[in-house]
């Protein structure tokens, strides 16, 4: 059992990691790295085998990928050590949701306020956070006696739709429907269909139908993917090296509109370009094995949905998302199979 100070330290560390996203230049992320690393050291016993294995793997990643591997190493440590109870993580997600929603509302009255979805600069990044958080909030609602987390889940969904992420809206609505059916049974499908129709209408009213009828207008996503595939074909085994995508891309570019292309608009494709196809497939195999083991426990579905989103966007290009997702996975690994998790429905039915 973890003491209250350990839980508080874990939550404060994850809050710092998420709020550091507000810095466009990512200068505060260096401080967040240091705090997270120290927190991992404080939250474990050095005689624990899992920590020793994780620490060995972490430093192996640093050695293989240089300083840029520190982000992956920190994700390994977060998976092993920043794993509070899921209800505590739900409170963190609720706090971030309220913060982002209030900033979005304020932005309507003061358009100069930025970022509109504080601390997220990008609507797609906020959508990924919502994808990770929605199953967790539903889990917390079913564990609690009141409807607080259900209201927060509704606010989260509405604010994500108002944010305007097209892929995020589609995946969140799919996630919400699947959760509704999984928890309430097929009879709840009658409620899910009209609710989805209302949500889609809300999204179209705020975003405009043009973004749906011509979803790839002006973003050159297909051209970037084609160039990325050519880069991968040139070095399929070893890749071009971590963080080298933006430097190598101009040699393979199919267009030039004067803008800087900093990412492949697909985390999975960019990882393949930078680390090589074998390393990416190995990571995909590890992720698939973990998902196969955890898929029965619906708080893990958010990680799966976020991974699907990462095929057409680049949320995990930001280290903070990678560490947060790793900490969520570690919490599910540590607490998801416990009696507390298995008795969710029984406690809800018999308060």
pLDDT (tens digit per residue) in 26-61: 788 888 888 888 888 788 766 667 667 777 777 777
Q: Which domain holds residue 275?
A: 220-317
Q: Within a domain: residue 19?
A: no
If one compares 15 and 255, the residue with the highest pLDDT of the two is: 15
Q: Check whether residue 210 and residue 97 sit in a common domain.
A: yes
Q: Check whether residue 166 and residue 273 sit in a common domain.
A: no
The answer to whether residues 314 and 265 touch, using CB atoms and an 8 Å cutoff, is: yes
CA dihedral defined by 163, 102, 157, 120, rounded to 10 degrees? Answer: 50
Q: Within a domain: residue 96?
A: yes
If one compares 337 and 3, the residue with the highest pLDDT of the two is: 3
Q: Within a domain: residue 341?
A: no
What is the number of domains present in the chain?
2
Q: State the pLDDT at residue 348.
A: 45
- pLDDT averaged over every residue in the chain: 83
Q: Check whether residue 235 and residue 204 sit in a common domain.
A: no
If one compares 92 and 165, the residue with the highest pLDDT of the two is: 92
Q: Check whether residue 199 and residue 225 sit in a common domain.
A: no
Q: Within a domain: residue 214?
A: yes
Q: Within a domain: residue 135?
A: yes
The reported pTM is 0.87
Mean pLDDT within 93-114? 89
């Amino acid at each position: 059992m973890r003491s209250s100070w350990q839980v508080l330290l874990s939550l404060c560390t994850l809050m710092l990691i998420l709020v550091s996203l507000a810095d466009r230049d990512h200068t505060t992320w260096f401080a967040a790295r240091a705090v997270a690393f120290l927190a991992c050291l404080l939250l474990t016993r050095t005689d624990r085998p899992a920590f020793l294995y994780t620490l060995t793997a972490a430093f192996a990643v640093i050695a293989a990928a240089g300083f840029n591997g520190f982000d992956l190493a920190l994700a390994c440590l977060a998976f092993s050590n920043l794993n509070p109870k899921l209800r505590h993580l739900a409170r963190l997600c609720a706090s971030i949701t309220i913060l982002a929603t209030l900033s979005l509302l304020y932005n309507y009255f003061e358009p100069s306020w930025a970022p509109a979805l504080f601390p997220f600069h990008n609507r797609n990044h906020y959508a990924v956070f919502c994808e990770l958080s929605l199953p967790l909030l539903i889990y917390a609602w079913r564990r609690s006696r009141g409807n607080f987390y259900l209201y927060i889940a509704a606010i989260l969904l509405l604010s994500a739709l108002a944010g305007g992420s097209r892929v995020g809206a589609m995946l969140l609505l799919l996630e919400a429907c699947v959760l509704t059916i999984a928890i309430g049974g097929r009879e709840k499908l009658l409620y899910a269909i009209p609710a989805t129709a209302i949500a889609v209408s809300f999204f179209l009213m705020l975003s405009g139908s043009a973004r749906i009828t011509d979803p790839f207008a002006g973003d050159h996503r297909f051209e970037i993917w084609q160039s990325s595939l050519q880069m991968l074909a040139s070095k399929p085994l070893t890749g071009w090296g971590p963080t080298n995508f933006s430097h190598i891309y101009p040699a393979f570019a199919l267009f030039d509109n004067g803008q800087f292309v900093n990412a492949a608009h697909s985390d999975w494709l960019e990882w393949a370009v930078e680390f090589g196809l074998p390393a990416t497939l190995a990571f995909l195999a590890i992720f698939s094995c973990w998902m196969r083991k955890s898929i029965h426990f619906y708080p893990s579905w958010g990680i799966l949905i976020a991974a699907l989103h990462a095929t057409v966007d680049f949320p995990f290009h930001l280290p903070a998302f990678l560490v947060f997702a790793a900490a969520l996975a570690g919490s599910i690994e540590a607490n998801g199979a416990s009696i507390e998790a298995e008795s969710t429905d029984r406690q809800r039915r018999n308060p």
